[in-house]
Structure 1
Amino acid sequence: MDFIAWFDINNTLINIPIGGGYAMSWIEAIGTIFGLLCIWNASQEKTINYLFGLINVSLFAIIFYQIQLYGILLLQLFFFCANLYGWYAWTRPTSENGDKLEVRWLSKQKLSYTIAVSVLAIGIMTIYIDPFFLALANVSVDGLNLLGADLARPTLEPDAFPFWDSVMTVLSVVAQILMTRKYVENWILWVVINIISVGIYAAQGVYALSIEYAILLFIAMNGTRTWMGTAKHNQAKQNETQQNKAEETVNELA
């Protein structure tokens, strides 16, 4: 198989008998596998998830370029950078003792701020989603043209589900950021995102993606359960450490 041809979305791996039939390309299949590996390993708190994530977003960026979804292509750049930062944040020491970032819950203040910003962003994007993504698409095209792509500026159809699309976009960005900081809430957001995604893709007749997000929903639910248990353990360990330090201080003063 020609190496360049492998990246072509018309290079079909398998025809899936779903709906009217769905031709899955090699690049989509491999990208999806790496995406599933990324999410599963993240749910197990394994840093290698970021390597799989980088491969996933890179392959999907190529797909979105070919099907001329330039706004979503630009979003992949954010996820690429977020994966690089997450890899760094999960592996660097957070203290002089060499402690690493631990799974925990958001504080009440951070949670309130996150909810407020998310609601505001969803509201604004719902109103301006079409010009917003057109602007993103034009930025992507202009950037690619600087590299010699010679692309025409795209014409986008109005969004079919502006509110739900805005919810998925905003919450995906927020969830990715929370994951890089090991906050449990990221998995709760991924559960919500995946539930919406299953419904939207099924409504649009894209049944293969609907099934994929159903699998991601299962992984996200498992990630929520696992990280909640880890956060509880970490909090108990932190409380015990603080109690021991307090007792040591009392003994020193006695």
Structure 2
Amino acid sequence: MNIFEFFDINNTLVNIPLGEGYAMSWVEAIGTVFGLLCIWFASKEKTINYLFGLINVSLFAVIFYQIQLYGILLLQVFFFAANLYGWYAWTKTDANGDTLSVRWMPRTKQLLIALVAIVSIAIMTRYIDGFFTLLATLTVSVMNLFGAQLNMPTLQLDAFPFWDATMTVLSVVAQLLMTRKYVENWILWVIVNVISVGVYAAQGVYALSIEYVILLFIALNGTREWIQTANSPTSQSSQGDAL
């Protein structure tokens, strides 16, 4: 198997007997494993999660490129940049030689983030088809500048505009909050995973639905562990200094 065959989504690793059957490719399987490792090590507050995250979004970008989901492909570019920043933020030391500590977000920031998220979800729900068409067009245009020679895609109307918008916005917010070690990121990931399980099951993509069940349990564990860490006396002291 050469390198190009490995990245081909038609290079099946295993046929999963779910629904009408699901052929999982090598690149999807390995990308999924790295995604699970990323979330697991993040829940354990291990910086190596960002290495696994970079591999995960890179492999999924290859998948979305092949199935012509260019809008979601562009989101992977954001997640790639967020993983790089998170790696930097988690390892950067302050004047005292300390790194970021797990902490709760200040109440004013909570309210601001909640407001921005609600408004963003409402706007995206209303304009989600145009939004992803714009992202897809932008992605194709940029890739064609580098000689990709892609045709402009014709995207189908979103089957679940509100839930899709909610997953997209909350995923972006949760990723950003994780880079700053705010406990609230895990609460958002729990919400995203619950919605994802339902949406993918409704669409008949049972393999993805099962994957998000696993991610849900990891996110619940991350929530529990980070809350314990944030509420510990030493962490509360450092929070007071930071705030």
C-alpha separation in 1, matches of 2:64 and 2:73:
5
C-alpha separation in 2, matches of 1:88 and 1:211:
32
SS in 1 for 2:14: strand
C-alpha separation in 1, matches of 2:129 and 2:80:
24
> 2:125 — aligned with what?
126
C-alpha separation in 2, matches of 1:184 and 1:92:
19
> 2:103 — aligned with what?
104
How far residue 235 of structure 1 moved from its aligned partner, in angstroms, is: 5.3
Confirm or deny: 8 A CA contact 2:120 2:169 kept in the other structure: yes
How far residue 170 of structure 1 moved from its aligned partner, in angstroms, is: 0.2
Confirm or deny: 8 A CA contact 2:101 2:235 kept in the other structure: no
Matches within 5 A, 1:235-254: 238=237
Matches within 5 A, 1:166-181: 166-181=165-180
Confirm or deny: 8 A CA contact 2:6 2:27 kept in the other structure: yes
Matches within 5 A, 1:1-254: 1-93=1-93, 95-233=94-232, 238=237
User: Over residues 62-111 of structure 1, what are the superposed CA-to-partner deviations in whole Å (9 max), with x where a residue is unaligned?
Assistant: 00000000000000000000000000000000x21101000000101000
> 1:245 — aligned with what?
none
C-alpha separation in 1, matches of 2:238 and 2:152:
57
Structure 1: 5+ residue stretches without partners: 243-254
C-alpha separation in 2, matches of 1:113 and 1:166:
19
Count of residues in Structure 1 that have an aligned counterpart in Structure 2: 241
C-alpha separation in 2, matches of 1:240 and 1:129:
38
Confirm or deny: 8 A CA contact 1:178 1:185 kept in the other structure: yes
Rg comparison, structure with higher value: 1
Letter in 2 for 1:85: Y
How far residue 2 of structure 1 moved from its aligned partner, in angstroms, is: 1.3
Structure 2: 5+ residue stretches without partners: none
Confirm or deny: 8 A CA contact 2:9 2:27 kept in the other structure: yes
User: Over residues 109-130 of structure 1, what are the superposed CA-to-partner deviations in whole Å (9 max), with x where a residue is unaligned?
Assistant: 0000000000000000000000
SS in 1 for 2:23: strand
Confirm or deny: 8 A CA contact 1:102 1:234 kept in the other structure: no
> 1:252 — aligned with what?
none
SS in 2 for 1:140: helix
User: Over residues 157-215 of structure 1, what are the superposed CA-to-partner deviations in whole Å (9 max), with x where a residue is unaligned?
Assistant: 11000000000000000000000000000000000000000000000000000000000
How far residue 233 of structure 1 moved from its aligned partner, in angstroms, is: 1.2
Query: How has the CA–CA distance of structure 1 residues 235 and 112 changed in structure 2, closer, same or farther, with 3 Å as cutoff?
Result: farther
Confirm or deny: 8 A CA contact 1:103 1:234 kept in the other structure: no
What is the TM-score normalised by the length of structure 1? 0.93
C-alpha separation in 2, matches of 1:239 and 1:64:
41
What is the TM-score normalised by the length of structure 2? 0.97
Query: How has the CA–CA distance of structure 1 residues 22 and 147 changed in structure 2, closer, same or farther, with 3 Å as cutoff?
Result: same
What RMSD over aligned residues (CA atoms) do the two structures have, in Å?
Answer: 1.4
